[in-house]
Amino acid sequence: MARKPFIAGNWKMNKTIDEGIALVNELKILVGDVADVDVAVCPTFVALAKVGDAIKGSNIMLGGQDTFWKESGAWTRQIAPSMLKDAGCQWVIVGHSETRGRFGTVDAELESVLSYFGESDTTVNMKAKAAFAAGMTPIIACGELLAEREAGQTDQVIVGQMKIDLAGFTKEQAMKMVIAYEPVWAIGTGKVCDSDEADRVCGLIRGVVKDMYGADVADAVRIQYGGSVKPDNAVELLGKPNIDGALVGGAALKSNDFAAIIKAAK
């Protein structure tokens, strides 16, 4: 089955509302003629509605960076899936390493408060189910720390995450969901996973999906790579058979760089 490439930009804690609008207005011009690649941007919560308005009628979709698994109630600082949907989101990232408290580089100040982030595979699974219930599609992220890779635990970590993250969906949901493999040691560090190894791990993930949901689902599900994706490595990464797109961080903040990655996926 031919899987349509999907390039999503995770803006993280960057861009004011006006800066975000300016960025997508530039993107609309640069990638307006791209029809064979799905494109999404994931701004901060405060910029979602305005950026969503700016991309209406274009080929750029809107996504949230996280969500909660409840729809309302006494949950200070949380964002309900229906709120994201109301702002125009079709996609939402769940389980990003930075919400799990797993970072590529950790300074002493951050190391002492990592428990603040506190995400687990169980909450990732709950959030992904809540996203589907609200009419959005989750981008479910996974990845190993440098220490885990150096200890030869990459496969064990990824399979362990996926078995919990992907549990309990319908077959139709499993076909629609997107999985993002992001080796934690390559996020924001400038390091990038070797393309053959990135493809191998994405293939490992596809194998878990096959075991859980069958070969047809595994053949349909899109698996992105994320971790220091740039225009100069995008063609090689996106040319691999098990890599169906990219979840882009820093390069998504520059319209020319992000457009080049999108065009590399064509």
Quote the CA–CA distance of 186 and 107 in Å, as a whole number: 16
249: nearest Cα among 200, 166, 191 = 191
For 224-244, what is each residue's pLDDT tens digit? 999 999 999 999 999 999 999
The burial class, CB within 10 Å (0-12 / 13-18 / 19+), for 187 is: buried
Confidence of residue 266 (pLDDT cuts 50, 70, 90): confident
Quote the CA–CA distance of 124 and 161 in Å, as a whole number: 10
The structure tokens listed for 168 are 């309990």
244: nearest Cα among 215, 213, 214, 206 = 206
Quote the CA–CA distance of 52 and 26 in Å, as a whole number: 14
Residue 256, CA distances (Å) to 22, 47, 187, 194 in order: 13, 21, 20, 24
Tell me the sheet residues that pair with 139.
Answer: 93, 178
Mode of pairing for the β-strands spanning 60-64 and 38-42? parallel
- Looking at every residue in the chain, the average pLDDT score rounds to 96
Q: Which segments of 29-90 are extended strands (E)?
A: 38-42, 60-64
Residue 70, CA distances (Å) to 63, 147, 154 in order: 18, 34, 32
pLDDT given at position 188: 79
Please give the positions annotated as active site: 96, 182
Q: DSSP H helical segments within the chain, as ranges? A: 17-31, 48-55, 81-86, 97-100, 108-111, 121-133, 146-150, 154-165, 171-176, 195-213, 215-220, 231-238, 255-264
pLDDT given at position 57: 97
Asked whether the predicted pLDDT for residue 14 surpasses 70, the reply is: yes
Confidence of residue 1 (pLDDT cuts 50, 70, 90): low
Quote the CA–CA distance of 175 and 220 in Å, as a whole number: 6
Report the pLDDT averaged over residues 19-41. 98
Mode of pairing for the β-strands spanning 178-181 and 222-225? parallel
Asked whether the predicted pLDDT for residue 192 surpasses 80, the reply is: no
**Could you give the percent of the chain with pLDDT greater than 90?**
91
| Residue 205 CB partners (closer than 8 Å, separation 6+) | 142, 158, 162, 179, 181, 223, 242
Report the pLDDT averaged over residues 242-264. 98
* Least confident span in 16-20, 72-76, 190-194, 261-265: 190-194
Asked whether the predicted pLDDT for residue 136 surpasses 90, the reply is: yes
For 82-117, what is each residue's pLDDT tens digit? 999 999 999 999 999 999 999 988 777 888 898 899
Q: What is the sign of the dihedral through the CA atoms of 33, 37, 38 and 39? A: negative
CATH class assigned to 6-264: alpha beta
